[in-house]
Amino acid sequence: MPQPDLVIFDCDGVLVDSEIIAARVEAELLTSAGFEISAEEISETYAGLTFKDIMLRLEEKSHIPFQASLIDRAEELVDRKLRSDVRIIDGAREAVAAVTAPRAVCSNSRTERVKFMLEKVRLLPFFAGRIFSGLDIPSKKTKPAPDVFLYAAEKLGANPKNTFVIEDSVHGIAGARAAGMRVIGFTGAGHSYPGHADALTEAGAETVIRRWAELNSTLAALSEWSEDA
């Protein structure tokens, strides 16, 4: 059976149920700063982006100037909440352990945050030395830029065309597709919304799964088929 060179997992909203936690904190901060927004709207429209990029997009949309200090405040409050509340997504450990190809994590969260979340839910040993943050790579370009995916593939000697990415956000899928990789969408986290699977498919996911139990059969089926075949 064909084997992927690499399987890349996003972290937030894929391995750990952190997107909804961050969205609630960020929505409260932005609303207090003069732009009323719900956690649900952040999850649906801006999931997968850094808080800085969310702020820049909202500034452009609303013409409300946000204080730069809001970024540090959001980081501090989100970190605190994640340390106490973050949980693994049901079935993630078993699914990751069953992947026989090399594995990595590519995230828009800081490397430090990814590590403490994965350590808290006992997933860190699966990805030791193979955690890549768009904030910490040489270009500093985060998703939806393809840079973090391409950097991981280069470092791990993987052909992007034979690399699979599991992503929960439109922006993450856009980055993976721009890197020439194949994408499986995931909608099993707490921030999922009506139409989520359709949005991920439209963004370029080849298929979408809702439960981790579906991962390995999906990987096997997609590995048998390629656009080059």
Q: Cis peptide before 144, with omega less than 30 degrees from 0?
A: yes
What's the rounded Cα separation, in Å, for the pair 70 and 55? 9
What's the rounded Cα separation, in Å, for the pair 173 and 13? 13
Residue 229 confidence (pLDDT) = 41
Phi, psi dihedral angles at 103 (to 5 degrees): -120, 155
Query: Which residue is associated with the tokens 């340390």?
Result: 83
Query: In order along the chain (229 residues), what is the average pLDDT of each group of 10 residues?
Result: 91 97 95 94 91 94 91 96 97 97 97 97 97 97 97 98 97 98 97 95 98 96 73
- Nearest Cα residue to 148 out of 95, 198, 106: 106
Residue 48 confidence (pLDDT) = 86
Residue 1 confidence (pLDDT) = 58
Q: pTM for the whole thing?
A: 0.92
Bridge partners, residue 186, by sequence: 209
Sequence-ordered list of residues with C-beta below 8 angstroms from that of 186, at least 6 positions apart, any chain: 10, 13, 14, 166, 167, 168, 200, 208, 209, 210
DSSP-assigned letter for residue 105: E
**In the chain, which ranges are continuous DSSP H helix?**
19-32, 39-41, 51-62, 69-85, 92-98, 111-120, 124-127, 147-156, 170-178, 196-203, 215-224
Cβ(136)–Cβ(111) below 8 Å: yes
Structure tokens at 49: 């982006």
148: helix, coil or strand? Answer: helix
Residue 2 confidence (pLDDT) = 80
Phi, psi dihedral angles at 95 (to 5 degrees): -65, -45
Residue 34 confidence (pLDDT) = 92
The alpha carbon of residue 206 and the mean position of all alpha carbons in its chain are separated, in whole angstroms, by 17
